[in-house]
Structure 1
C-alpha cells in the first residue's frame, strides 16, 4: 500500500498549453491555421504533459498484462482458459499481432504475468509478477482479496518503474486474459451505473445465446459481491482481474512520471476507469487510442470524457490499437517540432481579411 500511496500523492495536475506557447508555435508554421486537425491536438497534449515545446518521442513501450479469470468456468468465453498462457508464449516468440504491430511502429513489448494460471520460465521480455494463479469465480464470490487488489495495482507501478531505466517517452497498455471482458463489463457497469445490456458484448465471439448467458453471470456477480462504486479498490477486488489491476497501476505510475498513456480497448479502458476513480488527476495523462466494437467501450470513454483517435472496428486487445495510434501521436509531435515556420521557409504569411 505504501508504493500505491506514494505514487498517487505525486501525481500532478496538467494544464494543457497553459502559457499558449504550443498554439503560438503552430500559428507560425508554414501551413494554414488548423490544417493539421487532430494532429495538433495530439502534439499539444503530449508537449503539455512533457512540459516542453521541443519534446520528442524516442522510446515507445507497450505493456501487455496477462491474467486468468475463474469466471471462465461459467462459459462466458468462446476460448478455453489455457489460451491465455499459450498466447503469452506467442507474444514472447514474436508471432502475435501485438508483436508484429509493435515492431511496425518501433515500440518494444514488455509482457507481464500478473496472474496466469500457468508457470513460465524467465526469459527476456517477460516480467513474472504473479499475484495469483487466476482470480476467483466472481459468479460465486470475490475475484480476489483487497490485499491482492492492492498488490495488482502495485505490480503495474513496479513494472513501470523498472522499465524507466530503459527509457520511456510514451507507453501503451495491452491485455491478455481469456474471459476478461466479463469482469471489465462488471467494472464499467459498477463505475458508470450503466445497464448491463449496454456494456456487455460478444468478447471473443459469443453468439446471442452466449451474450445473454454472460449478462446473467455478470448480474449474479454484482449481486453476490456488491462492489462499492465509491471504492474503486473494492470494485477491483470484488469483480476485477489481476491484469486489470496491473494496467490501472501502470496508468497511475505513468501519471506520476509525466508519461502519456495510450489506453487500448475495452479491458484497458475498464482499468483506466479504476485508476481514474482512485485519482482523477490521472485522466490528464490518458489518451484513448481507438474505439472498440465491444459493447460498453463507448460508455467507459464517455465517463472519462475521451475521444478515441482511431475507429477501425478493432476488438483484439493486446495493445494493438494503442500501438497503431502511437504513430499518429508521433506524427503530431514531429509536425510541431520539425516543420518550418513561414519565415524559415520564406513563405508568405496569410493575408489579413476584414
Structure 2
C-alpha cells in the first residue's frame, strides 16, 4: 500500500560525531541532541534543513457524538473550523507565533463549506455512522480517504515541504481514538477512555459503555487496521493515518500532536512499521490513555504541559524545539571550528 524505506543507520556514527564535537560538553543539550540526531537521519547528515513546513488540520463529524459522549454537540466541529478560518483559535495563535503555515481540511463535516471558504475539500462523507450500532464507514470509504490524503501530501511534497504537523477537529473523536487504541493494543476500554474536554461522570460512564459495546459488536472484524478504521474510525482519522504514511513514503518528517493523532500514528505503524522512523511526538496530553499510546509506540514526547485541546496545538508548540535542534546541528560551531583542543 505504501512503500516506505526504513531510515538508514549508515551514517549514524558520522551524525553522532558531528553532534559530539560541537563546542559543548558531550550530551549537554540533552534531548535536543537526540532530536537533532533524528532530524539528520531523516533529512540528511550534511545540513538537514526544514523547508516549507505545514500544519494540516483534518476535520470531520462522528455519529457517536449523538450519544452524548462530549460536552459539545456536533455543530461545534463546523463552528470551530469557522474559527480556524477566521484566525481566532489557539492553533492560529500558535502557528502564527512560530511561522507554521496552517491549512484546514474538511474530511466529512456534516454541513460542507462553500468553495470560497478557504477550507480544503476532501470530503468522504457527512459524518460517520454511530460505530456502537454499525460500522462507521465502508472499506471503500477508507480507501477513498487514503487517496485524498495521499494526494494532498504529494501536493505539499512537490512544493518543497519536508515536514508536516498533524492536527484534528471533530466532536466525538476521542471516543473513536479510544476504541481504535483498544482494538490495536489489546488494552481494555477502561484504560483507553478518558473525559475528552471535560464530560461529567455520568457521560464518562456512558462513553466507556458505548465503546465497550462497539468493541464487542465488531470483534470479528478488528483483525486489520483498515477494517478497524472502517468499523471504529472517523473520516479525519482515516486521512491522518494516510497522511502519516504518505509523508514517510516521501521521506518527510511528521510531527504527531495528541491523543487522536497518536491513534492515527498507531494505525499507520500497524500498516507499515517503517513509518515510525519519520515521526516526532510533540507532547504527552492529559487525556487518559495517551501515555499508554506513547509507551506502546516507544515514543518519548518533547513536551508535557497538561494539555488536552487537540487542534495540533501541541505540535505547534513543539515546532520551535524542532527548529532549534536542526539549527543547532547545522549552525553551532564545533571544537575544531573554534580552535579548542579537547
* Matching of residues 123-272 of structure 1 within 5 Å: 123=116, 125-226=118-219, 228-272=221-265
TM-score, with structure 2 as normaliser: 0.97
Equivalent residues of 2:15, 2:45 under 8 A apart: no
Task: Identify the match of residue 26 of structure 1 among 13, 19, 23.
Answer: 19
C-alpha contact 1:17 1:44 (8 A) present in aligned 2: no
Distance in 1 between the 2:10 and 2:94 partners?
Answer: 31
Give runs of aligned pairs for residues 296-335 of structure 1, distance below 5 A: 296-335=289-328
Deviation, structure 1 residue 113: 0.4
Work out which of the residue numbers 93, 103, 106 in structure 1 matches 2:86.
93
Residue 19 of structure 1: how far off its partner (Å): 4.2
Distance in 2, Cα, partners of 1:32 & 1:96: 41
Tell me the equivalent position of 1:352: none
Query: Offset of 1:304 from its aligned partner?
Result: 1.1
The 3-state SS of whatever aligns with 1:20 is helix
SS class of match (1:12): coil
The 1:41/1:227 distance shift into structure 2, 3 A limit, reads farther
Residues 1:284 and 2:273 are matched in the alignment: no
- Name whichever of 226-235 and 203-212 sits farther off: 226-235
RMSD (Å) for aligned C-alpha atoms: 1.4
Query: Post-superposition shift, 1:16?
Result: 4.5
Structure 1 residue 52: Cα displacement = 3.2
> What is the rounded CA distance, in whole Å, between the counterparts of 1:219 and 1:19 in structure 2?
45
Q: Which moved more, 1:273-282 or 1:50-59?
A: 50-59
Q: Is the 8 A contact 2:106 2:123 kept in 1?
A: yes
The alignment of Structure 1 onto Structure 2 pairs a total of residues equal to: 342
Shift of 1:131: 0.2
Q: Is the 8 A contact 2:162 2:251 kept in 1?
A: no
Q: How far off is 1:124 after superposition?
A: 6.8
Q: CA deviation at 1:221?
A: 1.2
Compute the displacement of 1:315 (Å). 0.7
Shift of 1:343: 2.5
Give unpaired runs (5+ residues) of structure 2: none
Deviation at 1:296, TM superposition (A): 1.2
Query: For residues 196 and 160 of structure 2, what CA distance do their matches in structure 1 show?
Result: 34
TM-score by structure 1 length? Answer: 0.93
